[in-house]
A and B are shown apart, each in its own frame.
Chain A
């Protein structure tokens, strides 16, 4: 137990989109996790994760070295990393995993890190906050349920898992040990039910948001086309909101709806919330605390239903 009474302490890696576009994700994560006995300590001096599609497909050495630098910062704090974004998970978890198991790669990276007086040692692990919430080892669904003061009763909520947290199945230890299911996972639905809402299944749930892998940067219309297909499938199930665990997916679904309206002339007005934001609401945080007014698509209709 630390001085703050938290059972677990993690270095909180923010990434880029959460603090810049959806600050509610940051505040909700810190506050909600605290109530669940997990303290998130800011990882000071962190850089971009770096974005797996953009950096990974141009220069892998830069990709490894930048991610390793972020890992070293946490190693210096002697804390495991917790993060809120699937893209960050892909970069930081995967680079950590690779460096731990590949000496040549580790030597190469350390060669680069030497220039800034750093050395990667491989002493920490990397977790997604959603993983911490679901895994009994840290928090677990029961504790999440117990922490709810304002259950989101009656809200029909669909889940978008995103890609990098669950795939590729072969690598993801978290998948193998805790979920055992990559093609049709349902653990997020359990979390949605735990905060009082009704989880809703929809067609092609595991389809990509459309943005990842550099698709959004390379061909926005194609990216929006994929997003649009998901939105059609969601609309069919008459959901009140979509929840995600990745700010990049959230950006694509939330601001993407505005772009879809401009480009395709279709509007959905589907509120899109990170699970941390939903959990914040269910634990009694106000929409203002969560910065929900900063969302591209108004959350008003959803809030009226649950508050």
Chain B
């Protein structure tokens, strides 16, 4: 006990000493610049800061709400300001030239531009700073537009004062900024795509076509995803399988695509350019010819003959057919699966061994004792295409799904109307197998729902597929009337509105009203759809034979686990978050990880494929470039101050930190390529041993002082 105490005291003492000198020491270390560093910058680091301030009018966006001259007059007297100017549009070529010239003429050591948000023009002004001969990270932006003139449009005096504060704060930081040099890391010439629905398949095909080795991981037994369950697609009425199977076959054939079905991403380590991914191949019980050969069974392995399935005594509901058709414990979901390889559902298998006998001594494809296998691969970039599932619409009790037999979901309708489905394409009522004469379609079932039980967003493709369903029953069942209950029909895509008119002409009945309640006649199993017809302003009670709920969609069950492995954020409703909703819809905040298809938010097939091609293109750029530049905002550890407590290691959301042995001491080490510079560790470190590049404690303290002291520093 006593000994321990002593050590603690010692440590504290050392810490105290270090605090005094270490802060200025560390920046010097970081200034050991690589060869590329321009000679001019070196000399600027030692002298007294000389900051140039450039105020932008942004036309009248800024100048219209504040007194630019007053701001400029004030800024002249801010400490360290050596030059000040204003211009109508700083971001224009002449505006940038002003900065360039001022740096040269006034020997500036830092640049402050007071203009818009750094998210908009920071890159522009960094380039201008660099062209003026300074390190680009010597630039600081004061936002006097989004956070000032736009929000205080009617308060000239207030916004002028606020601009003065913003510039004073920015100058304080600019005075302490240091030269920083982006790092480059090499990129592995391989990519991973998680999820092999139409998005994942398209992305994998594009990547492989660009010459990139692609690992395609799918948790289901076959590729194809949701689209392979659909009968026809809107608005062209193409047979979904007919247009999808060629792609499935291509994926199966492409030599650059390594396909892992019935597999999951188990672990992800590393960073852009160098992800180490562990794939878990779930125990499947059936070997491919390749796997068989590896085990010395020449000419063996599964050839998809189906002898095993015929003899298997265990019957289970087929998930692909939404549980409306049986499958065996050893099964393929449908005849067009890729790969054509059987799978044993070990949760139901009774291990009777009949399939092993049926498979025979030549093929020897079945191994009832097979176990999960783990495969490690290295990839440069990854695309998540984890797709969606239906919201459990039985939670909306008022519509009676799972309570009333003849209330089904849109996906069940797809299987019932599909020629390869459980009824051979004959739409029948689940209760008695009769052909329906009146079918109701309930749109926005659980979508655009703010009751707290459904989803607040629009699921985006239900309007269109319900119109398609209406068309299909009119076409297939003479005299059958579809009743479409809608809030408003969102037919926004190419040729969609035309399709909507077509269905109206074909005789579908449209009733504008949110369905309040569905009641079942216990004898006839007919259903009463109750709503308010908001166009005629009267309550409606329509008797139908069956109801199709256009159920809301939600991220697939495994999305959350997978996104965490790759460090991708999600929105409140679980959809994966893109880097920017408009300008970077395929990227994520984790460098090297991209999004394709519905995992990012509901999309129809054209949008999904477009997003997949976008993601593939984005994911191939770093690979083709061969190396990536990383923003130098990473944390660095000041070894002398680090006590090796390791608290930061657990806090880091990007797994960028680790404890290592250095000169006989345990200290933290940052993997710079993984670090996002979020500052979590820096803010927490009890010993102040973490230096955040570009957001260092002295820089932030100077900003706070500049604000609080009102310039009287």
Question: Are B520 and A203 interface neighbours, CB within 8 A?
Answer: yes
State the CA gap A170–B520 with chains docked (Å). 26
Across the interface, which residues of B come within 8 angstroms of A181, CB to CB? 397
Question: Are A183 and B522 interface neighbours, CB within 8 A?
Answer: no
A170 and B403 in contact (CB under 8 A), knowing A181-B397, A203-B519? no
Residue of A nearest to B400 (CB): A184
A203 and B522 in contact (CB under 8 A), knowing A170-B451, A184-B403? yes
Across the interface, which residues of B come within 8 angstroms of A182, CB to CB? 397
Across the interface, which residues of B come within 8 angstroms of A237, CB to CB? 522
Interface positions of A from 209 to 266, Cβ below 8 Å from B: 236-237
A183 and B521 in contact (CB under 8 A), knowing A169-B451, A170-B451, A170-B452? no
Question: Are A183 and B452 interface neighbours, CB within 8 A?
Answer: no
Known: A169-B452, A169-B453. 17 other contacts (CB 8 A): A170-B451, A170-B452, A181-B397, A182-B397, A183-B396, A183-B397, A183-B398, A183-B517, A184-B397, A184-B398, A184-B400, A184-B403, A202-B522, A203-B520, A206-B517, A236-B522, A237-B522
Interface string of A177-199 (1 = CB under 8 A from B): 00001111000000000000000
Residue of A nearest to B399 (CB): A183
A207 to chain B, nearest CB (A): 9
Chain A residues packing against B (C-beta within 8 Å): 169-170, 181-184, 202-204, 206, 236-237
Across the interface, which residues of A come within 8 angstroms of B517, CB to CB? 183, 204, 206
A213 to chain B, nearest CB (A): 16
Question: Are B519 and A204 interface neighbours, CB within 8 A?
Answer: yes
Residue of B nearest to A204 (CB): B519
Interface string of B403-414 (1 = CB under 8 A from A): 100000000000
B360 to chain A, nearest CB (A): 53
Give 23 pairs: A residue, B residue, CB < 8 Å, sorted on A.
Answer: A169-B451, A169-B452, A169-B453, A170-B452, A181-B397, A182-B397, A183-B396, A183-B397, A183-B398, A183-B517, A184-B397, A184-B398, A184-B400, A184-B403, A202-B522, A203-B520, A203-B521, A203-B522, A204-B517, A204-B519, A206-B517, A236-B522, A237-B522
State the CA gap A149–B541 with chains docked (Å). 45
State the CA gap A204–B403 with chains docked (Å). 13
State the CA gap A18–B175 with chains docked (Å). 80
Interface hub of A183, A184, A202 (most chain B Cβ within 10 A): A183
Residue of B nearest to A184 (CB): B397
Residue of B nearest to A205 (CB): B519
State the CA gap A182–B397 with chains docked (Å). 8
B583 to chain A, nearest CB (A): 38
Across the interface, which residues of A come within 8 angstroms of B520, CB to CB? 203
State the CA gap A183–B397 with chains docked (Å). 5
State the CA gap A203–B451 with chains docked (Å). 24
State the CA gap A144–B416 with chains docked (Å). 47
State the CA gap A296–B436 with chains docked (Å). 45
B395 to chain A, nearest CB (A): 9
Residue of B nearest to A176 (CB): B452
Interface string of B497-523 (1 = CB under 8 A from A): 000000000000000000001011110
Interface string of B376-410 (1 = CB under 8 A from A): 00000000000000000000111010010000000
Across the interface, which residues of A come within 8 angstroms of B519, CB to CB? 203-204
Across the interface, which residues of B come within 8 angstroms of A169, CB to CB? 451-453
B518 to chain A, nearest CB (A): 10
B404 to chain A, nearest CB (A): 11
State the CA gap A236–B520 with chains docked (Å). 13
B451 to chain A, nearest CB (A): 7
State the CA gap A181–B398 with chains docked (Å). 10
State the CA gap A149–B706 with chains docked (Å). 81
Across the interface, which residues of B come within 8 angstroms of A202, CB to CB? 522
Residue of A nearest to B397 (CB): A183
State the CA gap A170–B519 with chains docked (Å). 23
Interface positions of B from 527 to 550, Cβ below 8 Å from A: none
State the CA gap A16–B520 with chains docked (Å). 36
Residue of B nearest to A169 (CB): B451
Residue of A nearest to B522 (CB): A203
Across the interface, which residues of B come within 8 angstroms of A183, CB to CB? 396-398, 517
State the CA gap A14–B403 with chains docked (Å). 37
State the CA gap A184–B519 with chains docked (Å). 11
Residue of A nearest to B450 (CB): A170
Complex A-B, nearest 5 residue pairs according to Cβ-Cβ distance, in ascending order? A183-B397, A183-B398, A184-B397, A204-B519, A203-B519
State the CA gap A237–B396 with chains docked (Å). 25
B690 to chain A, nearest CB (A): 44
Interface string of B447-476 (1 = CB under 8 A from A): 000011100000000000000000000000
Residue of A nearest to B403 (CB): A184
Across the interface, which residues of A come within 8 angstroms of B403, CB to CB? 184
State the CA gap A170–B522 with chains docked (Å). 30
State the CA gap A170–B451 with chains docked (Å). 7
